[in-house]
Amino acid sequence: MKLYCLSGHPTLPCNVLKFKSTTIMLDCGLDTTSVLNFLPLPLVHSARLSKLPGWISKDGTVNLEKELKECAGRVFVDSQPEFCVPERELLDLSTIDVILISNYHCMMALPYITEHTGFTGTVYATEPTLQIGRLLMEELVNFMERVPKAQSATCWKNKEIQRILPGPLKDAVDVWIWKRCYSMQEVNSALSKVQLVGYSQKVELFGAVQVSPLSSGYSLGSSNWIIQSHHEKVSYVSGSSLLTTHPQPMDQSSLKNSDVLILTGLTQMPTANPDGMLGEFCSNLAMTIRAGGNVLVPCYSSGVIYDLLECLYQFIDSANLGTTPFYFISPVANSSLEFSQIFAEWLCHNKQSKVYLPEPPFPHAELIQTNKLKHYPSIHGDFSSEFRQPCVVFTGHPSLRFGDVVHFMELWGKSSLNTIIFTEPDFSYLDALAPYQPLAMKCVYCPIDTRLNFHQVSKLLKEVQPLHVVCPEHYTQPPATQSHRSDLMLELQPPPMPYRRCSVLNLPFRRRYERVYILPELANSLVPSEIKPGISVATVSAVLHSKDNKHTLQSIPKPPPVPPSKKRKRVMEEPPVTPAPKPLLSGAVPLEAFLTTLQKHGITEVKVEETADGHILHLQAEDTLIQLEEDGTHIVCDNNEPLRTTLRDLVLRFLQKL
């Protein structure tokens, strides 16, 4: 059993598991942090961005004026942003049989895998994962295609040139495999390969293994996966949460008794408690609005935003914000808000029960009804006529490199009354803000990451007790910035197996058993004999039939009776005449009784020698040795066949025949 690690990102994993002749890809997360190296894509022409100076090396020998621009002391690539896709060279992606998706954040690289690689397998995901994942992909494509950039910068990626570049660009890794965003057509094609599954549904893969998604409590339709054969069980834990937010709670008990547990997707903010952050978010928001400023919340169009809106719904009145407008701007804003209301079966119990009441599960419906929350596909169109300040705007993309958020950054960045509140933990907020510096706007970092923290995960592992744990290497040491926090790492016995991008791990367990079926008629013919109290043994002679990874023992076909014909015998292969199998022997020879028996047969001079495994009997008169060992008996007797036969028969008396 092997694990190929195609992504090193702990929360955007992409691993391939080879298990019992199947090749299973676990998630295909897209690492979008690479876009931080690019200039923002403004929706409206920005004089500031267009006037940025190009970059020329100090000695003037390298001129990349067209590709790289200097902004606020840093150098950015002026081109369509590119993403760091999963490794494609580690193994042949066309051999992948299935892809299991655990949540909509972990499927964003799907088109890169399923298209143009020869992939012919199936993708398994739950319905909300598929639908919301589609929305997020659509949004991403929309953000990119709305502001097309003809130019594609490649010169800077030249190894020789990259070496002399300043700052983070110099240290960017795998820049050659960075890819531009996919197209809507590729998205549709990729998603057409998705087959929907429900929680705990068991899907057979070629009869060899069974996979089954379990609720993971992190987002709508998010799941962990169990991959098991008859005798082995691998659990794949991706983004999971034990907090009571909107999704169904996490199913922990089904993870028990795993041989291997692959652990990914822990919180990226182990020191930031989501409740505390939510509190910070609200108080900073209220503080800014009271002072007459606007609040900008760069966020994804699904996920935490539902919880933010729910929290605000309760907070608005207590903070006297009843008259402040809240805007949600995204190409998929409307679908996201509405989808969330219809996935009732995927919601937590509390919200599910609301389905039977004349009120929607999420309170944002009421915010919309009362005109407190308004949503628009983009800043163009209706929004501009309705726009009223001070206000709160939720919009993407959290990297601040594309999407409507770029416009608000340009609009509000200059006033210290306004505040930007980061809630998504995926991007370093300082890097996200870099191309907007100098910035007068207040910045608040309230990353809300509801995924498991180290305390919760060690409790979970104590409960489910897997034999081995595999996890990204980040989890085996404290965060680099907080090396004293030994509580922020996994400490297990045996220690977890760490992986990084491009690792290939041999998972440390051997398959020892295989299930074999036996046909009833064959079973009927068996004659068990009891060898120990409660244990019976029978010998079986049969033909092993293997098909679709199922093994069946069938009776040996009887040779067809030779038809009484006078025709000349056809030249046909005679079935080999199988001699009746010799009976198998079992049992041990008791020394004392054996000696007595020997004596009865006139063999008296026996010297018994004790060895590590049993005894050696030296029949001195006959010059013969009998070795009685745990797993074998030997009679060494030169040129005296009758004696040997006698002795053999004496030994056999003490053994049982099956």
Partner 1 sequence: MDGECVSLLPGVCKVLADSGRSLPDDTSLEKLLDWFTGLSKTGGSLLESCPCLLEFISTVGSNTALDPGVLSFALRLAGLIAAREAGFTVLQERSVVDLVFNPQHWQDAGLWSDPCIRIGWIQGLQNMLQHPKALSFFVQSDLTQLLLQLQADTSLFVASAASQLLGHILLRFQPPPSSRREGTGETAEDHQGTSVEYAAVVVVISEYIQKSLSTEGSTQHRRSVQLLRLLALLLAQAGPPLRDTLLQAVGDALKELVAAGCSQLTLPLMDVILAAHSCGADKPDRHLSCLLSSMFSVNKPADLIQAAAAFLRRGLHDSDHSVWAVRILLLPLDIVTGRSLLGSKDLDEHRLSTAEELKIKNSCISLLCLCLTNTPHITLLPADLLPCPPGLIVTAVLALLSISSGQNSASSSPTATSCTEVSRNVIGSSKVQKCALEALAALSCCPGGKEKMNEVFTVLLQYLDSPDSDPTVLHKSYLALIKWMSLCTNLSFLTEQLRQDLLSVVRKRVCDVRWEVRDSTVEFVGKAAGVLTSPEEAPEGLPVSTAPLLKEALQDTESYVRASAIGALAQTQWHSWQQGAALTQQQTETVSRLLEILSQDTEGFARRAVVQYFISWFSAVSSHASPSSSISSYPSASLLMNSVRSVLSFGSADLDWEVKVHTLELARLLLDEAFLAEWGYRKSPDSYAGDSERTCRLHTHSRGVESDLAGVLTSLVELGVISALLSGLVDCDRPVALKACRLLIRLRDTVSWDSESQDASAAMATVTRVSCELPGWGWGQEIKKVLESKSSDWASKDCATALILSGADDGDSDQDGGDRMHAGVCEVLRSLGLDERLDILSQSSDHVHNSPLSLLQDILDASAAHTHPNTQPGQEVIVDCY
User: What residue ranges bind partner 1 (CB under 8 A)?
Assistant: 271-273, 276-280, 282-287, 290, 311, 315, 317-320, 446, 482, 484-487
**Closest CB to partner 1 among 107 and 286?**
286
**Closest CB to partner 1 among 272 and 507?**
272
Q: Which of 288, 283, 381 is nearest to 329 (CA)?
A: 381
CA distances 167 to 40, 76, 164, 172, Å, are 18, 10, 10, 9
d(CA 367, CA 8): 40
CB of 275 to partner 1, least distance (A): 8
d(CA 591, CA 608): 9
**Closest CB to partner 1 among 139 and 280?**
280
d(CA 543, CA 237): 40
**Closest CB to partner 1 among 36 and 444?**
444
CB of 292 to partner 1, least distance (A): 12
CB of 451 to partner 1, least distance (A): 17
**Closest CB to partner 1 among 202 and 485?**
485
**Closest CB to partner 1 among 239 and 447?**
447
Q: Which of 339, 350, 328 is nearest to 247 (CA)?
A: 350
- Enumerate long-range contacts of 598-602, CB under 8 Å, 24 or more apart: 598/650, 601/646, 601/650
Give the phi and the psi of residue 282 in degrees, each rounded to 5.
Answer: -65, -45
Cis before 249? omega within 30:
no
Write out the two tokens for 444: 């608040």
Neighbouring C-beta atoms of residue 446, cutoff 10 Å: 25
Q: Which of 245, 354, 265 is nearest to 305 (CA)?
A: 245
**Closest CB to partner 1 among 274 and 360?**
274
d(CA 40, CA 436): 9
Q: Which residues pair with 196 in a beta bridge?
A: 125
Single-letter amino acid code for the residue at 580: A
Going along 555-601, which residue ranges are E strands?
Answer: 585-586
d(CA 102, CA 137): 16
67 Cα distance to chain centroid: 36
How crowded is the C-beta side of 281, counted as CA atoms within 13 Å? 31
**Closest CB to partner 1 among 486 and 586?**
486
CB of 323 to partner 1, least distance (A): 13
Non-local (6+) Cβ contacts of 158 within 8 A are none
User: Cβ distance 191 to 132 under 8 Å?
Assistant: no
| Max CA distance (Å), the chain | 118
CB of 69 to partner 1, least distance (A): 35
CB of 303 to partner 1, least distance (A): 20
CB of 318 to partner 1, least distance (A): 4
User: Cβ distance 169 to 156 under 8 Å?
Assistant: yes
**Closest CB to partner 1 among 297 and 647?**
297
CB of 438 to partner 1, least distance (A): 20
CB of 413 to partner 1, least distance (A): 20
CB of 491 to partner 1, least distance (A): 10
**Closest CB to partner 1 among 320 and 369?**
320
d(CA 173, CA 34): 9
CB of 282 to partner 1, least distance (A): 5
Helix/strand/coil percent split, the chain, to 5: 30, 25, 45
**Closest CB to partner 1 among 12 and 285?**
285
R_g (Cα) of the chain, nearest Å: 35
CB of 35 to partner 1, least distance (A): 28
**Closest CB to partner 1 among 273 and 656?**
273
Give me the torsion for CA of 552, 556, 560, 561, rounded to 10°.
Answer: -150
d(CA 151, CA 573): 73
CB of 553 to partner 1, least distance (A): 56
Non-local (6+) Cβ contacts of 54 within 8 A are 63, 64, 65, 66, 68, 69, 70
**Closest CB to partner 1 among 100 and 277?**
277
**Closest CB to partner 1 among 491 and 605?**
491
CB of 278 to partner 1, least distance (A): 7
